[in-house]
Amino acid sequence: MGFPDYRPRRLRKHENFRRMIRETRLSVDNLIMPLFVVPGTKITNPVKSMPGIAQLSVDRAVDECRAIRDLGIPAVILFGIPDKKDGAGSGAYSDTGIIQQALRAIKAAVSDLVLITDVCLCEYTDHGHCGPLAKGPDGRTDVDNDRTVALLARAACVYAEAGADAAAPSDMMDGRVGAIRAALDAARRTDVLVVSYAAKYASAFYGPFREAAGSTPSFGDRRGYQMDPANADEALREVAADLAEGADIVMVKPALPFLDIVRRVKDRFGVPVAAYNVSGEYAMLKAAAQNGWLDGDRAMMEVLTSIRRAGADILLTYFAKDAARILGGGRA
């Protein structure tokens, strides 16, 4: 159907008109802030490649969560950096692990903030891969899928006991969502959500995160278990499998290079979809802004709106605090 006298500039003339007809709404309610937690007290270790982001001790993480809550941001996702690592990533599922300590402290101090825990072993293994290693039939060393899945399920239950409201498996092992859901249900924690990194790509945009989390593999890479960036149909199969296994929310990671995947997942399944605006996306925008090449705030809001427009209901982003200050919605 044609509109021969359509004059769109009239609708763009005034900011109030632009607000009234805006199709995509970005709200502070869409945001989740990632946090990196380390052992010790009174520690704030800035992450060089991620300006404005730091590793925090538990006490500083509690303070940060109060500030996040006061900005109106509804949730955080926690990543732990232990003081000791081993081949099986035991710090992830120890009762005294760093994330378990953080969960208890934050839940006691900021009870109205949703606490999500990343469920993976890469930060906890001494080799940097996402689970314990074994030699395959071809003689190559690789992650032991089934042993890893069992340990991830154990970790999710320990996190739930410590106060997690949701478990977010990011390892990309086969069957891990079903194992985590079954373990949580068996532990009578049917209230804990599973937020699955369903379509997680083997991306070049994770570099700054690996500095922050100390999770760079000591050999090889993760292309044997994370997705090929060239594949789209495979993402839909991954999402379908995770939903069948009990995922409550599915995630696409990274966000910007895979906005088409976000759109396809939302259109195909119609479930809550999260997208992770990852460390490399954050770092390159920050670097451009610091060099005066971009208006940092405008570029940030344009990027976050594009992810929302693509179909994401939830945005995990290191920009969450900066965006919340612009969007408003915090405590008076």
User: Which CATH number fits the domain that encloses residue 256?
Assistant: 3.20.20.70
What's the CA gap between 104 and 124, in Å, rounded? 19
Q: For residue 2, is it within any domain?
A: no
Average pLDDT over residues 79-89: 93
Query: Mean pLDDT lowest for which of 117-126, 128-137, 199-208, 262-271?
Result: 128-137
Does a structural domain hold residue 4? no
Is 286 part of any domain? yes
Q: What does the pLDDT look like over 291-312, one tens digit per residue?
A: 999 999 999 999 999 999 999 9
Number of structural domains in the chain: 1
The β-bridge partners of 116 are: 77, 166
In this prediction, residue 223 carries a pLDDT of: 81
**Where is 200: in which H helix or E strand?**
strand 193-200
Q: Which of 6-10, 99-103, 119-123 has maximum average pLDDT?
A: 99-103
Q: What is the pLDDT of residues 171-207, one digit of tens each?
A: 999 999 999 999 999 999 999 999 999 999 999 999 8
10 domain-assigned: no
Q: Is residue 174 part of a domain?
A: yes
Residue 17 lies in a domain: no
Classify residue 136 by burial, with Cβ atoms within 10 Å: 0-12, 13-18, 19+: exposed
Look up 266 and say whether it is catalytic. no
The residue annotated as part of the active site, out of 85, 253, 266, 286, is: 253
Mean pLDDT, rounded, for 149-167: 97
253 an active-site residue? yes
Domain limits for position 229: 25-327
Q: Return mean pLDDT, the chain.
A: 94
Residue 5 belongs to some domain of the structure: no
In percent, how much of the chain has pLDDT > 90? 80
Q: Rounded to an integer, what distance in angstroms lies between the CA atom of residue 6 and that of residue 149?
A: 57
Q: Which segment, 14-28, 81-95, 237-251, is predicted with the most confidence on average?
A: 237-251
- Enter the pTM of the model: 0.93
Place 17 in a pLDDT band, splitting at 50, 70 and 90: confident
* 130 located within any domain: yes
